[in-house]
Amino acid sequence: MPGLRGHAAHTVTDPDTALSSRSGEVAVLGTPRLVALLEEATMAALDGALADGETSVGMRIHVDHLAPVAPGTGVMAEAVLDGVEGRRLTFSAAATVGDAQVARASIVRVVVETDRFLGRVDGGPA
């Protein structure tokens, strides 16, 4: 399973900005939306790799947001599965605009049984 790769692409729009998400006061790609793009790439890496009835959930993210990205700009994220320890999956990820890296991250996801996990959520199925 290590070595799996996933990609996600997104063109920054006004609702993606730090100003819109209230995570900052500037109209550039906000870190919350950047993190979502990086996580989308981890999910793409796992597409078809987990057993029926399983999914993965985010556990830990360490992200370095390195450069601002203006609305209208396309951003590409790539995640690589580096390690598997039991149910824990560790990814390295990066986001780029052209050849310039705008973020790098280490992301840990945990494989869970979907129904059992949802049963632990208030109001979820038992």
**Residue 124 pLDDT:** 56
The pTM score is: 0.93
Tell me, yes or no, whether 107 lies in a domain: yes
122 pLDDT band, cuts 50/70/90, is confident
Domain count, the chain: 1
Residue 58 belongs to what domain range? 5-119
Is 70 exceeded by the pLDDT of residue 125? no
Residues of the chain above pLDDT 90, percent? 93
- 3-class DSSP string for the chain: CCCCEEEEEEECCHHHEHHHHCCCCCCCECHHHHHHHHHHHHHHHHCCCCCCCEEEEEEEEEEEECCCCCCCCEEEEEEEEEEEECCEEEEEEEEEECCEEEEEEEEEEEEEEHHHHHHCCCCCCC
Tell me, yes or no, whether 125 lies in a domain: no
What are 59-100's pLDDT values in tens digits?
999 999 999 999 999 999 999 999 999 999 999 999 999 999
